[in-house]
């Protein structure tokens, strides 16, 4: 099988972590010829050359001034030309890059290169004849070849052996792939970053409290529940013809429009349909009715389908917006970037203007107890506690609890990857986030800072997590657990 793996050198000069997993996944497929493909500046060559030592005989670098400044649509177009030229059976991409952080390029590329698609792959189960994969939130999915999959953080990229040889890196310019320059780089990008700001969001003034005050802090968080979801500012002028896919983006839509139509995705689905079938049918409807704006939620389904619709319509899509604004003509979309350190203000030059917005996941827990490496001795106790809390919650008496983890906790096998919160895990926005034994690295903060109330428990008063917490308890995880157990059985 011929496999193309798309890899990106991130802004910090490293291989994007999800792409490392994509490469390893390809190398593990028996009898495969693996080819690396990257679009980027000249310095990407060095990274590709090193990567060829692991098994890919060849790497292609799409490198041309005309490719610079590309958004996801222009990137997908450019990559698709190379993919078509290489004609693989399978393309593997990482779920998302950690700098761009949109998760859009894979799905858009699948449309541009006419490949069937499975996103958020946790495990490749079968490759013979057709592709069968277990996904993160959408069960087992099947695709016919040629196909594209995007993978989660499902493995660790092997290291080169001392004897491994470097392969070849072949540079392709716009001419080599016969690119239409009006569709490449900044010129071909319908979304534009208008401004960027330092993002102080997430920083909180921490009040240090005693363990005995914990219940009160949790109660306060639950009372404040869901107000935290972006206190949405109303724009004075409004846009017409705004569509929302499902009800989740409604409050965002109401901030920019009084003319809102909710789309029920079931109206566009037939039994046995793939996401692509939906995307094609919905695109026809959009062409007919020409809405100004379409807003999607941030669930896994929306994030897989919206980029396909954008690619079919050749329009821009801004990912994970936390606020919207309008002057009555244009839609301005605000989204965090670079682990949330920066907020970018983005506009879309084409119609419809589309965005996925950060929404609350239906049925998600109100209290999340997240464990870091410092909580290694209390994992089972916390699991039991969460179970007991949920037994009470099932009787309708109290809030639902859930458990989460840092990446180091996942790597130490304390909890499974689907629990990981952060830039290479998932984002959560619970009413109360209790961070136990977590240091507070930016990569983790990026996934939890939308929580209403954050309570941090760490014996190190200088731990950065306290800068992102409303309440701090300077205690060990063990003391925390002893206290809760006593309180629970009191």
Residues at the site binding ligand FAD, with contacts judged by CB under 6 A: 17, 98, 372-375, 406-409, 420, 422-425, 437-439, 441, 443-444, 447, 458-460, 463, 476-478
> In this structure, what are the phi and psi dihedrals at residue 485, rounded to the nearest 5 degrees?
-60, -45
CB of 435 to ligand FAD, least distance (A): 8
Smallest Cα–Cα separation from 182: which of 78, 110, 79? 78
Instruction: Name which of 344 and 446 has its Cβ closer to ligand FAD.
Output: 446
Among 195, 192, 176, smallest CA distance to 69 is for: 192
Please, which residue, 105 or 353, has the CB nearer to ligand FAD? 105
Least separation, in Å, of the C-beta of 161 and ligand FAD?
24
Written as six digits, the tokens of 5 are 């793996």
Please say which residue, 1 or 442, places its beta carbon nearer to ligand FAD: 442
**Cβ-proximal residues to 7 (8 Å cutoff; 6+ apart), any chain:** 15, 16, 19, 22, 23, 36, 37, 38, 47, 48, 51, 94
| Closest approach of ligand FAD to the CB of residue 481, in Å | 9
Smaller CB separation from ligand FAD, 82 or 438: 438
Q: Which is nearer to ligand FAD, 155 or 350 (CB)?
A: 155
Nearer to ligand FAD, 191 or 458 (CB): 458
Distance CA 316, CA 8 (A): 21
Q: Specify the residue, 47 or 409, whose C-beta has the smaller distance to ligand FAD.
A: 409
Residue closer to ligand FAD, measured from CB, 312 or 428: 428
Q: In the structure encoding, which two tokens stand for residue 482, read together?
A: 């002893």
**Per-residue H/E/C for 126-161:** ECCCCEEEEECCCCEEEECCCEEEEECCCCCCCCCC
Q: How far is the CB of 156 from ligand FAD (least distance, A)?
A: 13
Q: What is the 3-state secondary structure (H, E, C) of 412-434?
A: CCCCCHHHEECCCCECCCCCEEE
Rg of the chain on CA atoms, in Å: 23
Q: Smaller CB distance to ligand FAD: residue 160 or 459?
A: 459
Q: Is residue 36 reached through a cis peptide bond, with omega within 30 degrees of 0 on the bond before it?
A: no
Dist. CA 422–CA 406, nearest whole Å: 7
Beta bridge partners of 191: 348
Beta strands in 136-234 (DSSP E): 140-143, 147-151, 168-172, 191-198, 207-208
Shortest distance in whole angstroms from residue 469 CB to ligand FAD: 12
Provide the minimum distance between the beta carbon of 82 and ligand FAD in the complex, in angstroms, as a whole number: 26
Q: Check if the beta carbon of residue 435 is closer than 8 Å to that of residue 370.
A: yes
169, two tokens: 């890196």
Q: What is the DSSP letter of 64?
A: -
In the complex, the smallest distance separating the C-beta of residue 14 from ligand FAD, rounded to whole angstroms, is 7
**Least distance CB 356 / ligand FAD (angstroms):** 19
CB of 377 to ligand FAD, least distance (A): 7
Identify the burial level of 144 via C-beta atoms within 10 angstroms of its C-beta, where 0-12 means exposed, 13-18 middle and 19 or more buried: exposed
Count CA atoms within 13 Å of residue 300 on its CB side: 16
Q: CA angle, corner 83, sides to 79 and 87, nearest 5? A: 175
Residue 206 or 463: the one with the smaller Cβ distance to ligand FAD is: 463
Q: How far is the CB of 406 from ligand FAD (least distance, A)?
A: 3
């Amino acid at each position: 099988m011929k496999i193309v793996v798309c890899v990106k050198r991130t802004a910090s000069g490293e291989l994007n972590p999800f792409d490392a997993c994509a490469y390893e996944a390809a190398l593990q497929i028996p009898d495969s010829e693996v080819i690396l493909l990257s679009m980027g500046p000249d310095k990407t060559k060095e990274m590709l050359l090193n990567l060829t030592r692991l098994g890919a005989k060849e790497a292609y670098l799409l490198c041309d001034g005309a490719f610079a400044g590309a958004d996801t649509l222009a990137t997908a177009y450019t990559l698709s030309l190379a993919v078509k030229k290489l004609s693989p059976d399978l393309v593997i991409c990482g779920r998302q890059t950690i700098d761009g952080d949109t998760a859009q390029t894979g799905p858009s590329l699948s449309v541009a290169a006419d490949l069937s698609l499975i996103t958020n792959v946790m495990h490749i189960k079968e490759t013979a004849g057709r592709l069968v994969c277990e996904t993160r939130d959408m069960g087992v999915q099947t695709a016919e070849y040629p196909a594209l999959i995007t993978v989660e953080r499902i493995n660790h990229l092997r290291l080169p052996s001392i004897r491994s040889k470097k392969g070849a890196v072949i540079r392709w310019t716009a001419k080599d792939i016969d690119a239409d320059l009006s569709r490449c780089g900044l010129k071909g990008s319908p979304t534009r970053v208008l401004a960027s700001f330092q993002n102080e969001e997430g920083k909180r003034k921490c009040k240090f409290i005693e363990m005995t005050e914990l219940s009160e802090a949790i109660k306060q968080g639950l009372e404040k529940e869901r107000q935290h979801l972006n206190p949405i500012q109303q724009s004075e002028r409004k846009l017409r013809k705004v569509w929302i896919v499902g009800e989740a983006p409604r409050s965002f839509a109401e901030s920019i429009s009084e003319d809102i139509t909710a789309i029920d995705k079931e109206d566009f689905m037939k039994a046995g349909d793939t996401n692509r079938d939906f995307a094609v049918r919905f695109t026809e409807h959009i062409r007919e009715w020409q809405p100004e704006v379409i807003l999607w939620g941030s669930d896994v389904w929306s994030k897989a389908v919206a980029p396909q619709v954008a690619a079919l319509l050749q329009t821009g899509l801004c990912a994970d917006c936390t606020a919207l604004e309008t002057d009555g003509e244009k839609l301005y979309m605000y989204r965090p970037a670079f682990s949330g350190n920066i907020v970018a203000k983005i506009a879309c030059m084409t119609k419809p203007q589309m965005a996925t917005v950060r929404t609350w996941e239906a049925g998600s827990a109100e209290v999340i107890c997240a464990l870091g490496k410092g909580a290694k001795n209390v994992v089972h106790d916390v699991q039991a506690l969460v179970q007991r809390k949920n037994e009470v919650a099932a009787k309708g008496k109290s809030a639902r609890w859930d458990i989460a983890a840092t990446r180091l906790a996942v790597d130490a096998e304390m909890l499974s990857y689907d629990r990981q919160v952060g830039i290479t895990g998932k984002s959560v926005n619970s009413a109360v986030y209790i961070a136990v034994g977590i240091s507070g690295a930016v990569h983790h903060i990026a996934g939890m800072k939308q929580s209403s109330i954050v309570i941090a428990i760490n014996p190190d008063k200088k731990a950065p997590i306290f800068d992102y917490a409303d309440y701090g308890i300077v205690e060990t995880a063990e003391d925390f657990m002893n206290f809760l157990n006593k309180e629970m059985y009191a």
